[in-house]
Amino acid sequence: MMNLLQLTLSNQIPLQREGTIHDFKWQWLAEGILQCMPKQNYTRSIVLSAGIHGNETAPIEILNQICLDLFQGKLKLKQRVLFILGNPLAIQNGVRYVENDLNRMFGDHYRTLRSDQETQRAELLEKLVTTFFQTDEHKSQRYHYDLHTAIRTSLLPTFALLPYQQHPYDEDLLQSLNAADLDALVYHNETGKTFTHFSSEKFQAASATLELGKAKPFGKNDLSQFSAIHRVLNGLLTQQELPTRSKDAISIFKVVKSIIKKSSDFKLNLHENAPNFSHFPAYTVIAIQDKAEDLLNHSVWILFPNKDVKIGLRAGLLLIKD
């Protein structure tokens, strides 16, 4: 039985690293990384990643359960898939990251940092995803779902971020996110250093970063809150029809500005525990640094506010409703 999470937490290498079970071939590629391929023809190559931030445990548990269900024969695999638990060291220590944020290293940005286990992990993930997509004998459609949880609570608890791209967004991807009962979609306005920006920009994969509730320790998650996305991921791998959306229409936002922390006197004009999607009316001061005020002449919503990031990193995204 392949328990990817248990192997990762215990820092173990499985005794058997590849095999065939229930009509699919599997291969353990590296710590926390498993490739599975059905014997039959497939139409999609799907990357499912979680644990890029080690303390975001609910998505890790969801991906691990999907793996267990495949190996137990509860799901019949019909698409090629690469499972990734992104940052084993951070997962083992129950922290977001150890030295530097792994989700700000992709697209070769890890090369700008001092070499450590996390920069080496970013390099490995890029190489394995590259190999996964480039060795696809069927030239199938490429997808990447990167699952996270937010540091703080959100007024819209579940949402997806779509990387900036100049070509149209994949309609099947958008339909899957809608079927997953997400509360909101957020479209980026510029390229970035995240895992999904990498897979979208380099391989034209239909990519999305999913934010599922708030980060909690292992065993403390109510996974029933994410049953819709779990069903969607199961359906994508088994080629089943998408479930019907049960919530109100999904809210659409677009990023208009990234707030970059430039000095040690940086302050956000928000309560310490203010939730994601907090609202700033027009001409409200959003942030102060270097004695200058940051404000806009139209109302905005803020996502991922974090005054404690390192200088030079993003301290929040400002959004407008579409």
pLDDT for the residue 91: 97
CATH: 1.10.10.60, 2.40.50.630, 3.40.250.10, 3.40.640.10. Which one for 256-321? 2.40.50.630
Catalytic residue among 137, 211, 272, 293: 211
Per residue in 84-138, pLDDT (tens digit) is 999 999 999 999 999 999 999 999 999 999 999 999 999 999 999 999 999 998 8
Q: Which two tokens stand for residue 113?
A: 């940092």
194 DSSP 8-state letter? S
- Confidence band for 214, pLDDT divided at 50, 70 and 90: confident
Strands (E), 9-110: 18-21, 24-30, 33-38, 44-50, 80-85
pLDDT for the residue 111: 96
Mean pLDDT of 145-160: 92
- Confidence band for 148, pLDDT divided at 50, 70 and 90: very high
Burial class (CB in 10 A: 0-12, 13-18, 19+), 113: middle
Give the side-chain half-sphere CA count within 13 A for 76. 6
Cα–Cα dist 209/187, whole Å? 11
Whether the Cβ atoms of residue 85 and residue 91 lie closer than 8 Å to each other:
yes
Per residue in 299-308, pLDDT (tens digit) is 999 999 999 8
Cα–Cα dist 83/93, whole Å? 21
Per residue in 252-269, pLDDT (tens digit) is 999 999 999 999 999 999
Element of type H or E holding 185: strand 184-187
Cα–Cα dist 267/91, whole Å? 30
DSSP 109-143: GGGGS---HHHHHHHHHHHHHHHHHHT-TT--EEE
Whether the Cβ atoms of residue 44 and residue 80 lie closer than 8 Å to each other:
yes
Whether the Cβ atoms of residue 214 and residue 152 lie closer than 8 Å to each other:
yes
Three-state SS string across 157-177, please? Answer: CEEEEECCCCCCCCHHHHHHH
Q: What is the CATH number of domain 4-238?
A: 3.40.630.10
pLDDT for the residue 295: 82
Would the pLDDT of 1 be above 80? no
- Confidence band for 221, pLDDT divided at 50, 70 and 90: confident
pLDDT, averaged across the chain: 95
Give the SS3 label for residue 45. strand
pLDDT for the residue 290: 86
Element of type H or E holding 304: none
Annotated binding site for Zn(2+): 53, 56, 148
Residue 40 phi/psi, 5° resolution? Answer: -80, 170
Percent of the chain with pLDDT strictly greater than 90: 87
Give the SS3 label for residue 245. coil
CB environment 272-311: b (16+ within 10 A), e (fewer) = eebbbbbebeeeeebbbbeeeebebeeebbbbbbeeebee
pLDDT for the residue 266: 94
Would the pLDDT of 215 be above 90? no
Annotated binding site: 53, 56, 148
Cα–Cα dist 163/15, whole Å? 38
Per residue in 29-55, pLDDT (tens digit) is 999 999 999 999 999 999 999 999 999
The reply to whether 31 belongs to the active site is: no
Give the SS3 label for residue 236. helix
pLDDT for the residue 291: 79
pTM higher than 0.85 for the full model? yes
Whether the Cβ atoms of residue 206 and residue 47 lie closer than 8 Å to each other:
no
Instruction: Return the domain boundaries, the chain.
Output: 4-238, 256-321
Q: Which two tokens stand for residue 238?
A: 């088994």
Would the pLDDT of 198 be above 80? yes
